[in-house]
Structure 1
């Protein structure tokens, strides 16, 4: 599946595009097995506090490897479409599993991904996240919320909110009235492709159901990252097979 010009136009206008059932139920079950028993997630998980003290768990890594997560990140379903949205070749930046557990999962404050990544030295916001639902994401269990079209604002100032990084709350108070708030309810296997300047957040999970997500993040290959006194350049993301079962 390659995005149509209408989908690309929708991404440019809204800052995101949602694709239902990009991954099958069987593929999602394989990923959930990796969440619950795989080395990659177990070895890199930490907790972050929201403004109320509730904890959201996160596992993050910056390299591809011979595992199922990397097979997803290099899948043609992701790489080819990300490249089309970026308008050039995509580079893998990082992968992460976000675990908002039942009855205890913390919120994610309003922020832009580029609010983090600007401080990490990336020159341009030509970067994309692909947010893949592993569990059903609903308003009850803290689904992603976005402000449609807010990527056109450019980068906002960010600071500490709890142990997270969030956009300036005073500015958000005014901005929220200017853009449509969209609750991105998603079935397992659906994927949201969104711009690094799109404002997004999520409420805490006080329901009886987990809300777990895999996010694969990409950078345009022309976008350098400042590292000390030099630029780091990213290589083109390899494109793997679409047969994820062979990686299980």
Structure 2
């Protein structure tokens, strides 16, 4: 069973995040990318992925992964190394809350950034009472500032939940389908003056794991290459949705699996 090292645990508590190098091997990252490349490229071409405008009006692309896509895409969220790491962070039984592919496509209208936000910032409004969740991102190409890597405000998780732009809008679910959730402008400005901005540059297969209240986002893709990343959100079972009518994130038993079981390796 994989657990956080003492250094990772200390960094997570102090800074709000940790990085596990080579959680997946480069070969495994390439295998997963090879598996999804053609179907996801087809969905992008057919405008079947979600496109949300950032604060500068650029579109950022995301492909939600419901359970129906388990065999092709979603199985990675059940991979035992990710599950072990998330369980160790939260220290209690967990389930897979949601998963998605972040698709940074150059030169085709999918190069937008993700605005500064907290995951618990919008998930509280969606029906979670406590920030007892964590998120893991794994890139499939080298993630740099130029091609749109994640960025964060180091230590900002200690602020707790801040107000977000979507808190009070009418028809919130429809609004959020096309508009990004972001920290309220004045609070964000104050936080950016107080906390260091860190660009999370990663190699394929590295894992970036963060606290639900960490203020983070991603850079726009200003390169000529794409950056695709898998993101999985894990929630404590005793923190599951109290809104029965919400469309995602409801509890289902989590059965960890080995990566090799999907590739006959």
State the TM-score, normalized to the length of structure 2.
0.84
Report deviation, 1:14.
1.2
Structure 1 vs Structure 2 CA RMSD: 2.6
Report deviation, 1:226.
1.9
Distance 1:184 1:244 in 2: 30
Query: For 1:152-184, what per-residue CA distance to the aligned partner results, in whole angstroms no more than 9, with x for missing partners?
Result: 111111115982111011111111121121110
In structure 2, the partner of 1:116 is 122
- Shift of the 24–188 alpha-carbon distance from structure 1 to 2, 3 Å rule, reads same
Distance 1:82 1:14 in 2: 17
Gaps of 5+ in 1: none
Tell me, yes or no, if structure 1 residue 223 matches structure 2 residue 251.
Answer: no
Distance 1:68 1:87 in 2: 29
In structure 1, the partner of 2:192 is 176
Report deviation, 1:19.
1.0
Report deviation, 1:126.
0.7
Query: For 1:168-203, what per-residue CA distance to the aligned partner results, in whole angstroms no more than 9, with x for missing partners?
Result: 111111111211211100111111011111100122
- Give the one of 238, 241, 245 matched to 2:258: 241
Distance 2:261 2:121 in 1: 32
- Checking the alignment, whether the CA contact within 8 Å between 2:36 and 2:73 is kept in structure 1 is no
Higher share of residues assigned strand: 1
- Give the one of 52, 76, 79 matched to 1:75: 79
Number of residue equivalences: 247
State the TM-score, normalized to the length of structure 1.
0.90
Higher share of residues assigned helix: 2
Report deviation, 1:235.
4.0
Structure 1 residue matching 2:64: 3-state secondary structure: strand
Structure 1 residue matching 2:37: 3-state secondary structure: helix
- Checking the alignment, whether the CA contact within 8 Å between 1:34 and 1:41 is kept in structure 2 is no
Distance 1:53 1:7 in 2: 36
Report deviation, 1:7.
1.8
Distance 1:121 1:193 in 2: 22
